[in-house]
Amino acid sequence: MLPHESNPISESPGLTSHNLPDKRSKTSMWDHFRASMANRKAAGLHRDVVVSTPISPTRVERNGQVAINFGANDYLGLAWHPTLFAWPKASAASSPEGSEFLRYGSGASPIVTGHTDEHARLVQTIAEFEDTHSAIVYSSGYAANLGVVSALATRNDIIFSDELNHASLIDGCRLSRANVQVYPHGDSQTLRRLVQEHRHRGRFGFVVTDSVFSMDGDLAPLLEIDAICQEFDMHCILDEAHATGVYGHFGRGLAEHIGVSDERMIRIGTLSKAVGCSGGFVAGRNELIEWLVNHSRSWIYSTASPVPNSHIAARAIRLVQNMHTERTALRQNAQRLRLAIAGLGYSVGEGDCPIIPIRFQDPKAVVAASQELLRRGIYVPAIRPPTVPEGKSLLRVSLSVAHSSDDCHSLVEGLRQIKNLP
């Protein structure tokens, strides 16, 4: 099987053939669930929800254990920024009850009454941040990816999709009903060959890819993808979720970082990770935003994000664009930490991305490693299939500029101690 065949474009992740119920079976749904969950537990693939109590930008309590938190995507420490969370005094003063928050929920879809003055200010701030005409804000990055891909591509079009794309892009491809060709991860040569072979099958053509891959922390070959899009008259739908705030002089993402123009790029940014708030956005020319406002179902048919989120996100974006020093320091720290972990004999890949994958292959081994680290006061999540392909389980370290060098040292020491555990 080619590696890209594991991309579950046509199957639900987690509903692969080994745990689909037999159509003729008389087993009840609940019995099927119980048996399937027991199988998952035995294979080290079961997922539990654990209450996480954040204590500081770098500390979290889980199961009564306080640990250094290497699991959050708060790359610039903004989720804890002391001045971001003050609600405007003017609103508080005009509130009859004198309460700090005039309103929390937006109450309706943005197309009805959910698009408040705070949302409009956020849209304007994002358009300025991205140095473009207009923007649209979704209540989550998942909703943005789902709604953008499925609004732009239709059954008459063709999508070329990286095999390790985020689930939300994969789901957007499915919803679009376009002809989807999956290409091996980051392999621009095979992408080119597939495009040559299949481009004529779709009216509009799209390459869909993460810019920074969320589990492996590696980067899409954007220059090559841009050249392919130019040559074959296509557009790239680029998910910058883990690049917003982290790459580019102003923190716009990887396209800014490596100097790819927006001509062929439809870039989706996030408010949920380095910006420290919640939401996803697209910024670009007026025709694009107008199209999304009229076609993007996850935006139209969903309540706009809470009002305070928009207010805080606009302020956070203004901070992010001036945090060049912090993002440079973050990536330098990430590079150093990667080298130190690789020095212990772990496989971590290369680069300066603050997502550092420590590869274990076996799901049970990675869960054991995560538990051993937690016992030592370090939290690093264990990532297993179907989030990553079979045989590719990993510990995912997510570094923040708020982590101290002592925090990084503790992680390296913890990894050294567990290296030779059975």
Ligand X SMILES: Cc1ncc(COP(=O)(O)O)c(C=O)c1O
Interface contacts to ligand X, rule CB under 6 A: 140-142, 145, 166, 168, 210, 214, 239, 241-242, 270, 272, 280
> Looking at beta carbons only, is 43 or 300 nearer to ligand X?
300
Q: Is-contact 41 197, C-beta < 8 A?
A: no
Closest separation in Å from C-beta 246 to ligand X = 12
- Minimum CB distance to ligand X smaller for 7 or for 168: 168
Q: What is the DSSP track for 10-35?
A: SS-TT--GGGSPPTT----HHHHHHH
Q: What are phi and psi of 293, to 5 degrees?
A: -60, -35
Which own/partner pairs from 120-124 qualify as long-range (CB within 8 Å, at least 24 positions apart)? 121/310, 121/311, 121/314, 122/310, 122/311, 122/313, 122/314, 122/317
The residue with its CB nearest to ligand X is 141
How far apart are CB 414 and ligand X at their closest, in Å? 25
Least separation in angstroms between residue 274's CB and ligand X is 12
Report, in Å, the least distance between residue 27 CB and ligand X.
Answer: 33
Q: Using DSSP, state whether 358 is helix, strand or coil.
A: strand
Q: Which is nearer to ligand X, 192 or 392 (CB)?
A: 392
Do residues 203 and 233 lie in contact, with contact meaning Cβ atoms separated by under 8 Å? Answer: no
Cβ proximity to ligand X, 149 vs 330, nearer residue:
149
Q: Where are the alpha helices (DSSP H) in 104-187?
A: 117-129, 141-152, 167-176
Exposure of 12 by Cβ count < 10 A (0-12 exposed, 13-18 middle, 19+ buried)?
exposed
For the CB of residue 129, give the shortest distance to ligand X in the complex, in Å. Answer: 17
- Give 186 or 202: the residue with its C-beta nearer to ligand X: 186
| Alpha carbon distances (Å) from 264 to 150, 160, 222, 296 | 18, 14, 11, 20
Rounded to the nearest whole angstrom, what is the least distance from the CB of residue 231 to ligand X in the complex? 26
* CA-based nearest residue to 173, from 164, 156, 161, 163: 161
Q: Which is nearer to ligand X, 165 or 410 (CB)?
A: 165
CB of 73 vs ligand X, minimal distance in Å: 7
Q: Closer CB to ligand X, residue 202 or residue 308?
A: 308
